[in-house]
Amino acid sequence: MTQVLFKNRRPGETVFLDGYRKTGGYEGLQKAVKAMSPDEVREAVKESGLRGRGGAGFPTGVKWTFFPADQFGEKYLVCNADEKEPGTYKDRELLLADPHQLVEGMIVSAYALRIPVGYIFIRYGYERCSQNLERAIAEACEAGFLGDNILGSEFSFELHVHRSAGRYICGEETALLNALEGLRANPRSKPPFPAVRGLFGMPTTVNNVETLANVQHIIVNGPEWFRGLAATETGAGTKLYGLSGHLERTPCLELPIGTTLREIVEEHGGGVWKGRTFKACLPGGASTPYLAAKHLDTPLDFEPIEKAGSRLGTGGVTVFDDTTCMVAATLNLNTFFARESCGWCTPCRDGLPFVSWLLEKIERGEGTMEDIEILRGQIRNIHGRSFCALATGAMEPVASLLDLFMDEVVDHIKRGRCPLKR
């Protein structure tokens, strides 16, 4: 199995500059700066088919074409290391193991986009990752990979770590920009998009940790190599999958993108725990629709998962066994979103608590068939109508509960109690 991002990863260890360079670290930067124009670097990323690893899956090279790369002046590269989607911990694993992967990826990306300043926005709980990054940044400066006139070129880049203080909404890219500016982290209205008016009103690109960490490898090995890493025809690259929930083993691993859900569950997760059977999973974090047992042969890549009715999201796979009450699981998810709502727009601030109230009523055994219709109405009124993607994402598991597990919902109502309560 080709390891790209996790090639230096050893249990309980962090690799810094010496170890990183031993396996080819900073060769991508040298190649980019010495032998390629920024335009050629952008072209390579576009051709590689790399898609954003933070949840939305937008093609990175295409996103960068909206950015005024050839305009000089104040512009920002922001790495979103907030990683708060429940079920998602891949960026943490990468930063615990090999922080230079991100630092080099950011420098090469900044070169490609002619950006002089970068920020890594990192969540409160990732203190060790923050310290690893600060050390990696200091080492990179010392080695001449960061700072003024990098590798003797005209290109200069400075990089800062911003430690946050909680709240899921900070992972939404425009809320993140407000947070970085020291404002209340409510999302901004789009357009203008960050590429036009972002941090401090200047052109900004916001990319995920794993996305940026792939860039230097594409430069060293070429776009074709990158596309060849995938297990699917349409895919590109490897993917960090973080396993969680009811599995015998819950590791985070780097696999060819498009590895099937069955292989991930049975082989890498050691099967469903306690000898039980697979009931459902969230394939890519809390805001992705459930997949059921009939979807086990789905390759976990963007296109095949969409065909199966869900999304790759972040690649955090949370599995539920056959004893799990899906109403209770959905209630837990929705209550998370309700609590983390920033309160800016009505569908989110008022709609999500109402959805939790309905789900709780059904879970208690006091629901009626009419409540299902009210729930459907709420989904319609919230999905796609909230100011940002938070509440829309929240509705995805709720809608898929009604699509895939309607019998179970109705069973709660008919019996007047949760049929799965132990």
Q: Give me the residues that bind other proteins (CB under 8 A), please.
A: 83-89, 91-92, 123-127, 162-168, 179-185, 200, 242-246, 250-252, 282, 286, 316, 318, 320, 324, 329, 332-333, 336, 339-340, 342
Nearer residue to other proteins within complex by CB, 227 or 239: 239
CB of 77 to other proteins, least distance (A): 16
291: β partners: 281
Q: Which residues of 294-315 are buried (b: 16+ CB within 10 A; e: fewer)?
A: ebbebbbbbebbeebbbbbbbb
Nearer residue to other proteins within complex by CB, 229 or 391: 391
CB of 181 to other proteins, least distance (A): 6
Q: Which residues of 86-124 are buried (b: 16+ CB within 10 A; e: fewer)?
A: bbbbbbbbbbbbbbbbbbbbbbbbbbbbbbebbbbbbbe
282: β partners: 318
- Strand stretches in 58-212, DSSP E: 76-81, 117-122, 158-163, 204-208
Cα dihedral value 287, 292, 297, 300, nearest 10: 10
CB of 255 to other proteins, least distance (A): 15
CB of 292 to other proteins, least distance (A): 16
CB of 132 to other proteins, least distance (A): 14
Nearer residue to other proteins within complex by CB, 28 or 87: 87
C-alpha to C-alpha distance for 34 and 144, rounded to whole angstroms: 14
Give the residue among 266, 271, 283 at the shortest CA–CA distance from 246: 271
Q: What is the widest separation between alpha-carbon atoms in the chain? A: 74
CB of 333 to other proteins, least distance (A): 5
Dihedrals φ, ψ of 192, to 5°? -70, 140
| Owner of token pair 């039980």 | 276
Residue 144, phi-psi category: left (phi > 0), alpha (psi -120 to 50), beta (remainder): left
CB of 370 to other proteins, least distance (A): 28
Q: Is the peptide bond before 192 cis (omega within 30 degrees of 0)?
A: yes
Nearer residue to other proteins within complex by CB, 225 or 357: 357
Nearer residue to other proteins within complex by CB, 17 or 169: 169
3-state class of 239 per DSSP? strand
Nearer residue to other proteins within complex by CB, 332 or 346: 332
CB of 21 to other proteins, least distance (A): 28
380 CB-near residues (< 8 Å, 6+ apart): none
CB of 227 to other proteins, least distance (A): 29
At position 22, the amino acid (one-letter code) is K
CB of 384 to other proteins, least distance (A): 23
CB of 242 to other proteins, least distance (A): 6
C-alpha to C-alpha distance for 183 and 387, rounded to whole angstroms: 18
Contact criterion met (CB below 8 Å) for 8 and 95: no
Nearer residue to other proteins within complex by CB, 123 or 188: 123
Nearer residue to other proteins within complex by CB, 170 or 413: 170
Nearer residue to other proteins within complex by CB, 45 or 169: 169
How is the beta sheet containing 238-245 ordered, strand by strand? 252-256, 238-245, 316-321, 278-282, 291-292
145 CB-near residues (< 8 Å, 6+ apart): 26, 29, 103, 104, 107, 151
Nearer residue to other proteins within complex by CB, 179 or 399: 179
